[in-house]
Structures are given as structure tokens and as C-alpha cells.
């Protein structure tokens, strides 16, 4: 998937055996980039960044699951060497710290030894606005899949990086001990469905959708 907006390029690169949608956002005028959820395959991401001569100023994370954050440490090592400076790592809400620090344990169950624990330089919080690559990325806390899950919204481009909250025709899993389905559904109703129909939603897995088509057609919000 590739999106082009006035002043913003977005490329979605699926990573890990979970086909997690890592998004690379960049400003074509400065070649500065942000990587959203580099869950793994750091070499593939580094190759894409190198081919496009992009300098990564920040890595931002929607939540602490292994397939979203397991590639942070390896990618930072590659970029620190290449750029002379590692990107800043902006985590989800601090309530997901316990997941970031247990990625190696999570990955062990799947035999994915290349994934590593992640450390955030700072955590994000609801209502915060991240000023990165000449864009404003608004942070909303949308818990339920994990306690600290956030989404990132570029209102100028009308695009939402939704992680594992809202999918095309589905929502994120809530069969974890720390998850909460009614909290997830309410968070999506309150936070994501307050956006206009035209906003593009890039979920953590599968194809993209829009707020309008999920509001009207997603079975979790529409009684049969």
C-alpha cells in the first residue's frame, strides 16, 4: 500500500510472519521519515529506507505487542550506524511498558528469536501532538486490545494509524488477560468514530479502510 498526500508519503510494509503493517511516513522535501510499528524484519525496513535515502528521526509505537515493536532495537542499531544517530523511540501510553519489556518472552512461544524487547525514550499520552517531519501527529489513547494502546492521526492528510484497534470489518483481539472488549468497542466509538467518514484507517493487519465504511458496515458496531 502506498499513499501520497500533499507533503506526505506513506508506504505500508508488512513485517513478521504475522504480516503486521509497518508504516513508513516521510516528507519528500526533507527526506525525513517516521517509522510506525517496526515489528520485525529490520533488514527489510532498513533496505527500503536506504533505497529511498530516508533519514529516520523517530520510531513511534501504537502498542507493545511483539509484532509491532519487536524490530525496534535491531532497526535502531542499523540506523544509528548509518545515520550517526539513533532515532528517538516514542512508545505507546506507559501502561504498555510491561509488554515492551516482555517481547522476547512473547516471541519465544512462536520461535521468533530475532524479535527483541523494546525500550521507549518517551511514552505518548492521550491528546498529545507529536511534531515530526513537518507533520502534526495527534495521539489518542484507545485501550482495550492492550491497556496502553494509542493511535496516531494526521488530520491534514486525514489518515489514522490504528494499530490493532479497528480493522476492515473487525476489531482487535481481546482474548488476553489484560484486554477488555467493551472498553475497546467504547474507545473506538468515542475516539475513532468522532472522525469524519473520509479518514483513511491503516490497521495493524490487512487492508486499509475508512472511518465511514467501518461506522456503517463493521459488524461489531452494527446489529445484524
Q: How far is the CB of 53 from Zn ion (least distance, A)?
A: 31
Residue 93 in the binding site for Zn ion (CB under 5 A): no
CB closer to Zn ion, 5 vs 178: 178
Contact in structure between 201 and 162 (CB atoms under 8 Å): yes
Q: How far is the CB of 147 from Zn ion (least distance, A)?
A: 12
Q: How far is the CB of 140 from Zn ion (least distance, A)?
A: 16
CB closer to Zn ion, 65 vs 135: 65
CB closer to Zn ion, 99 vs 132: 99
CB closer to Zn ion, 133 vs 171: 171
3-state helix, strand, coil in the chain (%, to 5): 25, 30, 45
Q: Which residues contact 6 (CB under 8 A, 6 or more apart)?
A: 156, 157
Beta strands in the chain, from DSSP E residues, in sequence order: 2-5, 8-15, 20-27, 32-36, 55-60, 88-91, 122-123, 129-132, 135-141, 150-154, 159-163, 166-167, 170-171, 200-203, 209-210
Return the range that interacts with Zn ion (CB under 5 A); candidates 8-16, 38-46, 57-65, 175-183: 57-65
Contacts of Zn ion in 147-206 (CB under 5 A):
164
* Grid cell of 144 as nine digits: 482495550
* Grid cell of 97 as nine digits: 511498558
Residue 96 in the binding site for Zn ion (CB under 5 A): no
Helix (H, G, I), strand (E, B) or coil at 135: strand
Scanning 115-210, the segments in alpha helix (DSSP H) are: 181-187
CB closer to Zn ion, 3 vs 178: 178
Residue 37 in the binding site for Zn ion (CB under 5 A): no
Residue 65 in the binding site for Zn ion (CB under 5 A): yes
* Interface residues toward Zn ion, by CB under 5 A: 65, 164
Amino acid at each position: 500500500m502506498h499513499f501520497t498526500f500533499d507533503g506526505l508519503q506513506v508506504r505500508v510494509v508488512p513485517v513478521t510472519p504475522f504480516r503486521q503493517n509497518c508504516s513508513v511516513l516521510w516528507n519528500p522535501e526533507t527526506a525525513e521519515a517516521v517509522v510506525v510499528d517496526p515489528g520485525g524484519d529490520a533488514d527489510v525496513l532498513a533496505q527500503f529506507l536506504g533505497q529511498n535515502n530516508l533519514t529516520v528521526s523517530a520510531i513511534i509505537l501504537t502498542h507493545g505487542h511483539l509484532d509491532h515493536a519487536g524490530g525496534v532495537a535491531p532497526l535502531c542499531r542499523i540506523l544509528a550506524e548509518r545515520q550517526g544517530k539513533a532515532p528517538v523511540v516514542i512508545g505507546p501510553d506507559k501502561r504498555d511498558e510491561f509488554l515492551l519489556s516482555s517481547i522476547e518472552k512473547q516471541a519465544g512461544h512462536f520461535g521468533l528469536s530475532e524479535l527483541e524487547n523494546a525500550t521507549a525514550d518517551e511514552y505518548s499520552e492521550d491528546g498529545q501532538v507529536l511534531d515530526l517531519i513537518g507533520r502534526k501527529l495527534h495521539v489518542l489513547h484507545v485501550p482495550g486490545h492492550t491497556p496502553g494502546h494509542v493511535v496516531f492521526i494526521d488530520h491534514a492528510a486525514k489518515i489514522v494509524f490504528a494499530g490493532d484497534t479497528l480493522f476492515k470489518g473487525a476489531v482487535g483481539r481481546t482474548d488476553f488477560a489484560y484486554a477488555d472488549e467493551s472498553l475497546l468497542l467504547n474507545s473506538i466509538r468515542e475516539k475513532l468514530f468522532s472522525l469524519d467518514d473520509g479518514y483513511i484507517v491503516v490497521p495493524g493487519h490487512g487492508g486499509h479502510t475508512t472511518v465511514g465504511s467501518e461506522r456503517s458496515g463493521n459488524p461489531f458496531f452494527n446489529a445484524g
